[in-house]
């Protein structure tokens, strides 16, 4: 069986070679016998050629498609790289613009306390210690910073320095449970003690007012009063009233205050006031003397 099959294939191959030879012998000559032989060869070879073409054309198309897919993948990757580069460039520009704006705000803050020496410091981290709400800044005693000096942000009071080293300092935020300042509602003369409430979700502050009948409304601004041993000058913004209620004894008002400086939103730069005492505060272009009688 195998021999017969082999002979048949051999015969077919020889016949195909002869047919092709006859076809190509002299295609331009129209010789009778050769012409008829040529035509016969073409009629035999043509179906085989069409069959081979039908078989191998999809294979060629497949490899061509694979090549095109590879080109498309490379083009897509190139486009993705270009998009990522443009996005990164835009984000960098936005970050620089935001940083420039914060620096301008800090400079304006320094101008508002123009009669007080101050230092602009960068926030370099949070304190991993017993202080729950505290930060590190990159300025210290070599820059004139000492313990208990007030620390401000463009939005208002941040807190006070609790530790100063040569090139850095630790700032306890006002929202910490250990943080406190003498404060008052801007529209009311009576003062009280505002303390941190770091355990609450919104990190609110509570102000205990001395006058129960004082008219205090939600949205009123709370500022430092300047009466706690000279730590905070008077007039520093602290926050706004969000709730007013009486204490259990009914003798005082308890005022919940949302701080303007939220710890999670604190910017990269703060301002440290290097002096506490008689101050000249510039606000809205006007100057006003503020004498701190024992505190802030």
pLDDT at 86: 82
pLDDT at 292: 35
pLDDT at 290: 39
Over residues 3-40, the pLDDT tens digits come to 555 666 666 666 666 666 655 655 545 555 555 555 55
Over residues 184-216, the pLDDT tens digits come to 898 887 788 888 887 565 656 666 655 666 678
Going by their DSSP bridges, the two strands 156-164 and 169-173 should be labelled as antiparallel
Going by their DSSP bridges, the two strands 253-259 and 269-273 should be labelled as unpaired
The span from the CA of 121 to the CA of 124, in Å, is 9
Beta carbons of 135 and 123 less than 8 angstroms apart: yes
Superfamily for 117-290? Rod shape-determining protein MreC, domain 1 (2.40.10.340)
Over residues 66-105, the pLDDT tens digits come to 667 777 878 888 888 888 888 888 877 777 777 777 777 7
- Tell me, yes or no, if the pTM score tops 0.85: no
Higher confidence at residue 161 or residue 89? 161
Q: Left (φ > 0), alpha (ψ -120 to 50) or beta: where does 68 sit?
A: alpha
Q: DSSP label at 174?
A: T
% of the chain residues with pLDDT over 70: 58
pLDDT at 291: 36
């Amino acid at each position: 069986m195998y021999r017969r099959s082999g002979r048949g294939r051999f015969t077919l191959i020889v016949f195909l070679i002869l047919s092709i030879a006859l076809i190509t012998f002299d295609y331009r000559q129209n010789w009778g016998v050769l012409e008829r032989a040529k035509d016969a060869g073409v009629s035999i070879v043509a179906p085989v050629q069409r069959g081979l073409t039908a078989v191998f054309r999809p294979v060629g198309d497949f490899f061509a498609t694979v090549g095109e897919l590879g080109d498309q993948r490379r083009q897509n990757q190139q486009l993705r790289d270009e998009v990522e580069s443009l996005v990164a460039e835009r984000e960098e520009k936005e970050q620089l613009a935001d940083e420039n704006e914060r620096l301008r705000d800090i400079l304006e803050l320094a101008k508002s306390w123009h009669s007080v020496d101050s230092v602009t410091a960068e926030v370099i981290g949070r304190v991993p210690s017993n202080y729950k709400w505290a930060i590190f800044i990159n300025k210290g005693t070599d820059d004139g910073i000492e313990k208990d000096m007030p620390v401000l942000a463009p939005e208002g009071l941040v807190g006070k320095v609790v530790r100063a080293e040569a090139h850095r300092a630790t700032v306890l935020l006002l929202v910490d449970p250990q943080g406190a300042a003498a404060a008052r509602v801007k529209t009311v003369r009576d003062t009280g003690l505002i303390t941190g409430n770091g355990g609450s979700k919104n990190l609110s502050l509570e102000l205990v007012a001395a006058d129960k009948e004082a008219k205090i409304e939600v949205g009123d601004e709370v500022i430092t009063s300047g009466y706690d041993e000279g730590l905070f000058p008077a007039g520093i913004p602290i926050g706004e009233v969000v709730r007013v209620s009486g204490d259990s004894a009914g003798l005082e008002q308890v005022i919940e205050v949302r701080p303007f400086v939220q710890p999670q939103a604190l910017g990269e730069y703060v301002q440290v006031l290097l002096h506490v005492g008689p101050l000249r505060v510039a606000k809205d272009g006007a100057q006003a003397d503020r004498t701190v009688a024992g505190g802030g």
